[in-house]
Structure 1
Amino acid sequence: MQREALLRIGCAAGFSGDRTDAAEPVVDALIAAGGPAVLIFETLAERTLALAQLARRDHPDGGYEPLLDDLLRPVLDRCLRSGVRIVSNFGAANPPGAARRIAALARELGLREPRIAVVSGDDLSGDMHRDMLRQAIGPAIDGLKIVSANAYVGAETIADALAAGADIVVCGRVADPSLTVGPALAHFGWARDDWDRLARATMAGHLLECGAQVSGGYYADPGFKDVPGLAQLGYPIAEIDADGHCVITKPPGTGGRIDAHTVKEQLLYEVHDPAAYLTPDVVADIGEAAVTELGTDRVRLSGVRGHRRPAELKVNVCHESGWLAEGEISYAGPRAEARARLAADVLRERLQALGPLRVDLIGVTSVLGDDAGLALASRPVGDARDVRLRVALNHADRGAAERLGREVTALYTCGPAGGGGVRTSVRPRLGTVSCLVPRQQVTTSHEFLSWSR
């Protein structure tokens, strides 16, 4: 790579379950532009790792991104032939398993053997880490049935893997912006305490990390903030220069919009303090950042400053938290809302020994409701003619939780009149505890997949 050249990084996923057809236009644009390029997939959220660990209980070889094949199959050949490197956290709870699956996919497609690096060290769920977590959380941890515990690690190990010649880097829980910082760090050879450049690359990664949000997806609000071609959104590409400044764009001919408004919204997304955005790599300061439109779907971010990285790393600990039972039933026609409210009252009375119910009248009060039911109680009975009643219960015992579904089903004939379309479910619930641990207690490394046929 020529270190003076721009580095282009395209994002083709912003969470697990994102669209699987986003990568092809991004890869086409990266190849057409020429020069060094990286494709990233960001597929983790706060509880995705816990769900992945639960998946491994039934399928020990699983636990990585379930859409891995769908994400990579359309573009793997083009990336390997053109030198577009791939970096992702789609390893989730099983990065080695994801790497093995990618290798198998390459064989199935008749491709050359990619050099696949696996990043490890973020998983702190083992017994060897229990004392560390107890010091961070306190004795309450002893009462938790831990499903997953992962540190948000940074970009350095990604950079090391790329510098060692990786075509593909598979990670678990790295911080979202680090998927961008790692390639930039490897490409430009920045010092690892070059806080300003690291901060600029971090904010470039922050703009990319949620996929099509910055392209107008989460921005769209018809009649107020219109976005063309929402069904065919183009996912973003960052053009990063040697000082870390970036231009955000998207593939030509794709839907969506990238302008100062969409960039500013994403820039501030989930940033608790614009002057001190904490990441494992750096503390980024966007207090004097400048967002400049350069042309259609081209926006430059500059003026970001950086400060010394935190001495601690964030850890999310997910644990078993009982069972969530849900039931729904619809009421329509005259007095539908009154009948739905009566059904809720019946359920509250019959299930009061199990604890409080969450009650939503979808179409009347749901998103703006509350677990205590105060929002619904304070609202006078209206004349809604199409109401979906949803009730939910959290309970430590599965058998008790399952009773909710039976009671909702019984409303068919036990009344009120005219209920229909019952759906019920019971599923395990996860709780989350976040803490900080000393950085030096978390060691990351990378290892290349050993090929065997």
Structure 2
Amino acid sequence: MTQKNEVRIGCGAGFSGDRLEPAVILAEKGDLDYLVLECLAERTIALAQKRKAADPSQGYDPLLERRIELLLPLLKQNKIRLITNMGAANPVAAADKIIGIAKRLGISIKVAAVIGDDVLEHISGDEIAMETGNSISWSGQTVSANAYLGAEAILPALETGADIIITGRVADPSLFVAPLVHEFGWSLDDADMIAKGTVIGHLMECAGQITGGYFADPVKKPVENMSTLGHPFAEVYRDGSAVIGKVDGTGGTITLATAKEQLLYEVTNPYQYLTPDVSADFTTVSLKQDVKDRIKVTGGSGSKKPSTLKVSVGYKAGFTGEGEITFAGTNALERARMAGEIMHERLNDQFPGLRVDYVGHTSVHPTSLAHDHKPYEVRLRLAGKAATADEAAIIGQEVEALYTNGPAGGGGVRKYVNEVIGIVSILMNRNTAKSSVVVKEYEY
């Protein structure tokens, strides 16, 4: 393969529920070599494992079909390779679904599914949760265990020549590191080069966040045209430097401020940002605003990759019951508080830790920052945890009973019961997770 000196990668999604249009615009007008869709989070994959357990043909991203139907003609027309973790708990079923879409659209396609991140069979229950320091022995309640694979697992899929590479759980920056290693011929043992690629991947992985999404504040940090927020692309060079931009005419903005916020996003130690590929030092990164909506990225250094992989473990954590009711008009807050006190007296013994929120007054902060402010309308919310769905439903039932058994003027009751999937992290010897590639192909 002739190695390139420049590769352009776009990020069309930063989470499972991201908007569809920005990826389409990147595929149409971004002049891309690769398009990445990063659609997987810890809880997302645990829920996907539940869907797969109920139906072995499921377990991939719920929006996969809609995204692929929109993107596939553009990917083929513009010779763009797609890399995505929309395979979630079932990359092979996802590949089969893509083949089915290609047949329906009359488009030849080759799909490579990366598997091996599912390590549930290797979980003993004696592992120590990083968050708590305690054993993860939940005695049959564990529903998923997925190791964060790295670029090394994706490279064989790229080498098949597949148009679409679909993975399960891989580290977010690795989705970007892999094509750079593939195109530039970087060594996976060159920690500094892999760190530079990781910096670029980390800046790109949340898509619209670096173009002003989540960053925006209409008072302190205004961002224009948020309704047409564009997603980013990176022009990456062989030396590991890059320019991050967005398609002209799309909304949002790329500035030093948006780039710095994203660089530090979810980073607990900027001197040692650990991925399966490298231990990256973000303090050696330099950002420079070249022109409007263009940031030049240089620097980044690294050291040897960790001997362990992070594993996200999902487990059944019971159920939550919720109930909501609104009080409006004169003395709305006082009536809502009276209802909250009634509910606390009725339910607290059965639901220790019962949460009582006055939405619009003290729903985010436990005490009001404006004690003299009396809202004209308040929504009371009750929430608690229970072992069973039937027990959790009692909370909503009691809130509904406030219609005639509580203060005057309550209305708009809604009640919910949801199963809770808890997530903890453990470390596992990296050699335990054995990745491989399954290729699916359709010739029109």
SS of corresponding position for 1:105: helix
Partner residue in 2 for 1:125: 120
Which digits, 9 at most, give the CA deviation of each residue in 1:42-94, with x for residues without a partner? Answer: 00111001111122233321111111122122221121232210000000011
Partner residue in 2 for 1:10: 10
SS of corresponding position for 1:435: strand
Deviation at 1:266, TM superposition (A): 0.4
For 1:272-421, list aligned pairs within 5 A. 272-354=268-350, 355-369=352-366, 375=367, 383-421=374-412
- Residues 1:449 and 2:437 aligned together: no
Partner residue in 1 for 2:194: 198
Asked if the contact 1:337/1:382 (under 8 Å) is kept, the reply is: no
Which digits, 9 at most, give the CA deviation of each residue in 1:191-224, with x for residues without a partner? Answer: 1111111111111111111110000111111121
Asked if the contact 1:312/1:438 (under 8 Å) is kept, the reply is: yes
1:446 corresponds to which letter in structure 2? V
Asked if the contact 2:194/2:278 (under 8 Å) is kept, the reply is: yes
TM-score between the two structures when normalised by the length of structure 1? 0.93
- Residues 1:439 and 2:437 aligned together: no
Asked if the contact 2:312/2:425 (under 8 Å) is kept, the reply is: yes
1:97 corresponds to which letter in structure 2? A
Partner residue in 2 for 1:80: 76
How has the CA–CA distance of structure 1 residues 215 and 356 changed in structure 2, closer, same or farther, with 3 Å as cutoff? same
Q: Which consecutive aligned stretches of 4+ in structure 1 deviate over 6 angstroms post-superposition?
A: none
Alpha-carbon distance between aligned partners in 1 of 2:37 and 2:235, rounded to the nearest angstrom: 17
Asked if the contact 2:128/2:136 (under 8 Å) is kept, the reply is: no
Q: 2:96 aligns with which of 85, 97, 100?
A: 100
2:126 corresponds to which letter in structure 1? R
Alpha-carbon distance between aligned partners in 2 of 1:303 and 1:424, rounded to the nearest angstrom: 52
Deviates most, 78-87 or 276-285: 78-87
SS of corresponding position for 2:21: coil
SS of corresponding position for 1:106: helix
SS of corresponding position for 1:62: coil
Deviates most, 39-48 or 50-59: 50-59
Unaligned residue ranges in structure 1 (runs of 5+): 370-374
Deviation at 1:136, TM superposition (A): 4.7
Alpha-carbon distance between aligned partners in 1 of 2:60 and 2:215, rounded to the nearest angstrom: 30
1:171 corresponds to which letter in structure 2? T
2:229 corresponds to which letter in structure 1? L
Partner residue in 1 for 2:21: 21
Partner residue in 1 for 2:185: 189
Deviation at 1:143, TM superposition (A): 2.7
Alpha-carbon distance between aligned partners in 1 of 2:123 and 2:305, rounded to the nearest angstrom: 25
Deviation at 1:379, TM superposition (A): 8.6
How has the CA–CA distance of structure 1 residues 422 and 74 changed in structure 2, closer, same or farther, with 3 Å as cutoff? same
Asked if the contact 2:87/2:94 (under 8 Å) is kept, the reply is: yes
SS of corresponding position for 1:22: helix
Asked if the contact 2:313/2:424 (under 8 Å) is kept, the reply is: yes
Alpha-carbon distance between aligned partners in 1 of 2:208 and 2:287, rounded to the nearest angstrom: 18
- Residues 1:173 and 2:166 aligned together: no
Asked if the contact 1:116/1:167 (under 8 Å) is kept, the reply is: yes
For 1:171-250, list aligned pairs within 5 A. 171-250=167-246
Partner residue in 1 for 2:41: 45
Which digits, 9 at most, give the CA deviation of each residue in 1:108-130, with x for residues without a partner? Answer: 11111x1111101111123xx13
- Report how many aligned residue pairs link the two structures: 439
Alpha-carbon distance between aligned partners in 2 of 1:217 and 1:16, rounded to the nearest angstrom: 16
State the superposition RMSD in angstroms: 1.8
Partner residue in 1 for 2:126: 134
Partner residue in 1 for 2:110: 115
Asked if the contact 1:115/1:449 (under 8 Å) is kept, the reply is: yes
Unaligned residue ranges in structure 2 (runs of 5+): none
Alpha-carbon distance between aligned partners in 2 of 1:284 and 1:140, rounded to the nearest angstrom: 29
1:130 corresponds to which letter in structure 2? I
SS of corresponding position for 1:349: helix
Deviation at 1:238, TM superposition (A): 0.9
Alpha-carbon distance between aligned partners in 1 of 2:336 and 2:443, rounded to the nearest angstrom: 61
TM-score between the two structures when normalised by the length of structure 2? 0.95
Alpha-carbon distance between aligned partners in 1 of 2:260 and 2:127, rounded to the nearest angstrom: 39
Partner residue in 1 for 2:417: 426
Identity %: 44
Alpha-carbon distance between aligned partners in 1 of 2:329 and 2:76, rounded to the nearest angstrom: 59
SS of corresponding position for 1:262: helix
Q: 1:58 aligns with which of 35, 46, 54?
A: 54
Asked if the contact 1:180/1:202 (under 8 Å) is kept, the reply is: yes
Deviation at 1:252, TM superposition (A): 1.1
Deviation at 1:168, TM superposition (A): 0.7
Asked if the contact 1:136/1:437 (under 8 Å) is kept, the reply is: no
Deviation at 1:134, TM superposition (A): 2.8
Asked if the contact 1:271/1:277 (under 8 Å) is kept, the reply is: yes
Asked if the contact 1:348/1:356 (under 8 Å) is kept, the reply is: no
Alpha-carbon distance between aligned partners in 2 of 1:213 and 1:56, rounded to the nearest angstrom: 30
Asked if the contact 1:338/1:382 (under 8 Å) is kept, the reply is: no
Partner residue in 2 for 1:372: none
Alpha-carbon distance between aligned partners in 2 of 1:301 and 1:282, rounded to the nearest angstrom: 18
SS of corresponding position for 1:149: strand
Deviation at 1:356, TM superposition (A): 2.5
